[in-house]
Chains A and B, each alone.
Chain A
Amino acid sequence: MSDTTTQSPSEMEELVYDTDGRRVAFTLDEELYPREAILGAAYLFLDRCFVFLERPADQKVQVRLKTKDGASDPDALEVLAGEFANALLDQVVRFRVAESTGQLREYAFARAFFTTPAQSSIDQLLAELDDEELEEDDLEVAVPWEQDGGGQ
């Protein structure tokens, strides 16, 4: 896996936004914030505000968050801006991890489901699991009640 996903540690990040008392707007650079991360963060706010996306210039995405009731509440907007910024940074981490681990996941899922013809692998797995379950069943929870003395 490549090292391109490494970022330098513990810097502060500055996020600039505009507000007119009813909405906040971030203009984000896709070089710093991958588009998937921007869209992912915006999606999380759908229940709280109206989300508008625009492309003011190449490689730039503008996200505008507008309160649903249209009321002017500068304090609430500050909170919203801060929460969006935090969500965006988390989404960037998610994007970096997904990018770096995509092949690992593909391998694991391919091994899980497609290594042998589907049905025979499932049958084999079930046999394995049944053996395992008996081995692991210290409490004998799988023993039917008729056989453990509680029966008819």
Chain B
Amino acid sequence: MSRITTKSLRLPKRSVRAEHLGYFRFGRIGKHVVLTNDAGEWSQLTPGEFDAFLMGNVEDGHPRFEELRERGFLRADLDLDDMARKIRRKRRYLGHGPHLAVLITTLRCNQSCAYCHASRTDMHRTDTDMSLETARLAVDHAMKTPSPYLCFEYQGGEPTVNFDVLKFCVEYSRERNKQEGKTLDHSVVTNMTYMNQERADWLVANKVLVCTSLDGPESVHNANRPWTGKKAAAYESVVGWMKYFNNKYVEQGLDPELWHVDALMTSTKRSLKAGNQIVDLYVDLGIRNIHIRPLNPFGFATKTWRAIGYSMEEWLGYYERTLDYIIELNKQGVQIMEGTAATFLKKMLTPDDPNFVDIRTPVGSGTGQICYGFDGSIFPSDEGRMVHGMGDSIFKIGDVYNTSFEEAVNHPTVRSIATASYLDTLPMCATCWNAPYCGVRPLHNYMQFGDLFAQRPLTGKCQQHMGIVGLLFKRLANDPDGAVASIFRRWTIDRPRLADET
């Protein structure tokens, strides 16, 4: 037994005169203390300014007084009605209901990606195709959402393998929408391996947005996403089709800034060394938005994880290097942005929230999105469907044959997910400086820890979000000529593509 010794620490007392202050959260990021509040306002103070602020010494005449007063950090002239208005605007999505309907047209897929979580089946398994009747009921169900905007997102498997059902959903929903009068979008998430000219031309003519996966240069992409039976061709195929679509949009007179194939990338261990090359490839292909995403650390055999995985710390280092490269390119006039940074920047730099279903409070599962499996099963989100595919139906909230829209979105499972993702009530999030911008993923927690809530310091998403937003604050704090701020502001501007007006 070791000997117990008693020691002591002498620390400067944090004095606070709270009656001078508005509500704020704070955190120490780099050399600054970041203050945030419920309206999403923020300020970065030096430690000396922070101490003065806590002591109630930031008064009229202090260089930071106006800024802190205006943003609601000081009790002086605190306008609670204005604060309420800003909070309401930030959370306007709360009254809308699901605006994203994910339809799984089939589980069949001809790729077997190293990191795939989506339950997939081989190409002969036509029994995992959605039928036309199920598709009709799923569209009817989804269109009951009170949201005035609805995006149908077609996923799989490889959704284009069941192209007739995809076409039917687009056409039938447009027909139905003549009564509903919603703004509709359609988007297909495809690996392009089943694309042909007829399908591509139909998607262009019908203004179905196309999103694909491109993990990086040929060696990285082909290693991550082997194409069954055609080992080397996945990269060639996806890049070839991206060019085809992009040329078609131009031929049709569509604005290429708005109309181009979007691509998502997933980073494996190989990607960590190729950040700049990946960005260059995206720029060469005319893509304006790159999402640098980490692997989700669940559903892997240990052996696979050892081959392709990494720690969140390693990923954040890679993210930082790549983001800095993207900022550098922007300074040279190249238009490319990082998607997750842009989502957070919209929260930080504009009065609105982008309503990105995975990063909001509560998370969008069941309240911002809804997912329809190939057999008509209903889930709060695509992840719920994946858990179901792994043999656990805990997130199944009904089916299109027997469950009304109201029953599905009011399902106790949806309520539990909302409770588990409401940041104001979660340990650590409740007082975290990042809460106005962040979101947690109960379904990820369930997959990783068997618990919707999990413990924040142990979840990769917490580290990821804190790391990214912290990095954005650091870059904004170290920006003497305002160049970074102006690039970041540009990333927050959305120009809507044409949505279906019929």
Contacts and interface: CB of A to CB of B under 8 A. Distances in A.
Contacts of B18: 1, 5-6, 96-97, 99-101
B11 A12 contact: yes
A94 B25 contact: yes
Interface residues of A, number: 72
Interface string A43-58: 1111110000000000
Interface string B460-502: 0000000000000000000000000000000001111110000
A60 B370 CA distance: 48
A78 B347 CA distance: 38
Given A18-B6, A104-B80, A112-B85, A129 B92 contact: yes
Nearest to B433: A94
A93 B80 CA distance: 22
Given A5-B19, A96-B18, A119-B95, A14 B457 contact: no
A96 B19 CA distance: 10
A59 interface: no
Contact of B21 (A12, A46, A97): A97
Contact of A108 (B11, B84, B95): B84
A118 interface: yes
B87 interface: yes
Contacts of B95: 118-119, 122
A12 B258 CA distance: 58
B427 A43 contact: yes
A92 interface: yes
Contact of B88 (A12, A40, A125): A125
B4 A17 contact: no
A7 B428 contact: no
A3 B457 contact: no
A11 interface: yes
A7 B25 CA distance: 19
A91 B498 CA distance: 48
A18 to B, nearest CB: 5
A113 B253 CA distance: 44
A104 B22 contact: yes
A10 B38 CA distance: 29
A21 B2 contact: yes
Contact of B428 (A43, A110, A122): A43
Contacts of A81: 7, 9
Interface in A82-131: 82, 85-86, 89-94, 96-101, 104-105, 107-113, 118-119, 121-122, 125-126, 129
B84 to A, nearest CB: 3
B219 interface: no
Contacts of A9: 13, 15, 55
A104 B23 contact: yes
B11 A1 contact: no
A64 to B, nearest CB: 12
B431 A98 contact: yes
Contacts of A93: 14, 16, 26, 54
A142 B89 CA distance: 18
Contacts of A151: 253-255
Interface string B295-338: 00000000000000000000000000000000000000000000
Interface in A1-43: 1-3, 5-22, 39-40, 43
Contact of A8 (B15, B22, B85, B88): B15
27 contacts: A1-B18, A5-B16, A7-B13, A7-B17, A11-B15, A12-B10, A12-B11, A13-B10, A14-B11, A16-B7, A40-B428, A43-B427, A81-B7, A89-B14, A94-B25, A96-B16, A97-B16, A97-B21, A104-B78, A109-B38, A109-B84, A109-B87, A111-B80, A142-B496, A145-B495, A145-B498, A152-B254
A-B pairs with lowest CB-CB distance, top 4: A111-B84, A100-B18, A47-B457, A101-B23
Given A104-B23, A141-B494, 20 more contacts: A3-B19, A5-B17, A5-B19, A6-B16, A13-B12, A14-B8, A14-B9, A17-B6, A18-B4, A46-B458, A47-B455, A86-B11, A89-B13, A91-B431, A105-B23, A107-B80, A139-B493, A145-B497, A151-B254, A152-B252
